[in-house]
Amino acid sequence: MALLTVRAAAERMGVGYSTLKQWIYQGKIRTTQTAGGHHRLSEVEIDRLLARQKPSARAKPRDGGPPGGLIVALSGRNRLRGFVEEVRTDGLLGQVRLRIGDQLLTAVVTSDALTELKLRRGDDALAIIKSTEVMIGRETSFSPGRQGRRRSRR
């Protein structure tokens, strides 16, 4: 019985490493632990998980790759629903602008991804956001009236 690392199992299943780790911690997946405390998944367990998925939910293989994979529900705070306002392609890169409420969100993706998604102006789409960092900046202004302006605390 072959044992896979969590990272290798996540790749084979088509899910993120952190997602698979959470499933392990929640007891949704049976693992074996090494002497050092690392989790390993058996191929049998991975096949069991893949077999439980509805056929329509299984990821479709790309370029003749192995079948399998999972589509995982995403939390609401990680996705924004909008519609495609603009699609541009230039060489290897593409740009998609989504209208989300009264805001525009721009994403730069590969041209291959745009071709695969078949996005067109007016299509509904999701912006799925994965980020571990947020940077805060401050505009610099040279007009004397704006420098040093602060909001009062309430």
Fold designation for 76-128: OB fold (Dihydrolipoamide Acetyltransferase, E2P) (2.40.50)
pLDDT of residue 77: 62
Mean pLDDT of all residues belonging to the chain: 77
* Residue 33 pLDDT greater than 80, yes or no: yes
What pLDDT band is residue 2 in, cutting at 50, 70 and 90?
confident
Q: What would the mean pLDDT of 74-101 be, rounded to a whole number?
A: 85
Indicate the domain borders of the chain.
3-57, 76-128
Fold designation for 3-57: Multidrug-efflux Transporter Regulator; Chain: A; Domain 2 (1.10.1660)
pTM: predicted TM-score of the whole model, two decimal places: 0.41
pLDDT of residue 61: 46
- 11-43: buried (b, 16+ CB within 10 Å) or exposed (e) per residue? ebbbbeeeebeebbeeeebebeeeeeeebbbbe
* Residue 76 pLDDT greater than 70, yes or no: no
